[in-house]
Amino acid sequence: MLIIATLAGLALVVWGWLMQGEEYTPGLLLQFGSSLVLIVPLIVLGRVFERRMQRTQDALSSDLADIQAQMRATRARLDTLGETSRDGLLDRHRRRELLLREAERAPTAERLASLLHEAAGLQAVDDGGVRTRLPGSDLWLRLDLRRTSAAPNPPNQAQPGRTSADETLHLTLEDRGGAAVSETAWARDERASAAARRLTVRRASAVPGTVSSGTAAAALRDIDGLLRPLVATLRTAIAARTGQEQQDLGRLIELPNEQWAISADGLWCRQRYFHIRTEQLLDARQDWRRYALAKPWVDREHFLDAYRTAHALLSGSVSASR
């Protein structure tokens, strides 16, 4: 196309010269000179721009190659870190599961303290520990860790199977609302039965007329049978916090039955998402019992027992915090 245009231009010049003869020459020279004045700088500028664009393209290509190399190196490091993190998480999960199984088999003070420490590090349990109801009794057994010194030990640095030396394990007998009836420290190297006997004796001393043959005393004689539900509560709390359960249950306190869970932030259904927050539970203007019992999937007996316990326990916690 450019060649055709050039030839057409030359043909027009020759035709004009033939028509006008020598009179056409000055005008032709003037136009040719004007064209050179315009074209030559444009050609020079075009070549300058072309060289600069080439240098820019070369620089961009070099930078792009460097960026790609850095991206490959970063991807390799991320893959390495990902494998390390996955290995670390898997190792932590294996150690935690081993600890849970050992505690289920033989719930010793050392194992339970380690589990509580681990759950606290995940913020899976309430600061006051976890508790379970004594069978056939109006009392609950609470298990918690208490710091005995001011030495810092951030919970998020907890490791499965490792506890702080300044934390002491405690067993407490309490009523539905969390008021302590008797309590005792449980040494790491002490048998559970010895701590249970102290609880029984101290309860008898604190409550005149209480006899060691009562239902609470009988339940405490099978202390391992009481501690295993606490291990199950800790397992559920950790599983809920680490995403192994259907939903997070908050900072767990108690599993009153298979359908409900009581945590520091209210009453949770374990089988589907249904949460009554603490402030809703304690608001006398809101009738959550009627609302929940209208649900076809709610077990009436289980809900009423869990609701009553949660209301008594959480109202006591709110009053104590004020």
Q: Could you read off the pLDDT of 219-253 as tens digits, one per residue?
A: 888 999 999 999 999 999 999 998 888 888 999 99
- In this model, does residue 3 exceed pLDDT 80? no
Of the candidates 250, 284, 283, the residue with the CA atom closest to the CA atom of residue 267: 250
Predicted pLDDT at 167: 84
Comparison of pLDDT for 135 and 6, the residue scoring more: 135
pLDDT digits (tens, 9 = 90+) for 26-47: 665 556 556 655 666 667 777 7
Helices (H), the chain: 2-20, 24-105, 109-121, 192-206, 215-221, 223-241, 278-281, 288-293, 300-321
- Check if the beta carbon of residue 253 is closer than 8 Å to that of residue 125: yes
pLDDT digits (tens, 9 = 90+) for 145-202: 998 764 444 444 444 545 556 789 999 999 999 999 999 999 999 999 999 999 888 7
Q: Which residue has the tokens 């203007």?
A: 285
Of the candidates 239, 30, 281, 203, the residue with the CA atom closest to the CA atom of residue 124: 239
The widest CA-to-CA distance across the chain, in whole angstroms, is: 143
Q: Which residue has the tokens 């934390």?
A: 167
Predicted pLDDT at 216: 78
- Check if the beta carbon of residue 28 is closer than 8 Å to that of residue 20: no
User: Per-residue DSSP letters for 101-161?
Assistant: HHHHHS--HHHHHHHHHHHHHTT-B-TT-EEEEPTTSS-EEEEEEEE-S-----GGG-BTT
pLDDT digits (tens, 9 = 90+) for 162-176: 555 678 999 999 999
Task: Tell me the two tokens of residue 31.
Answer: 């136009």
pLDDT digits (tens, 9 = 90+) for 296-309: 999 999 999 999 99
Task: Tell me the two tokens of residue 89.
Answer: 């998480």
Mean pLDDT of 93-100: 92
pTM (global) more than 0.75: no
What amino acid is encoded at 189 in this protein?
D
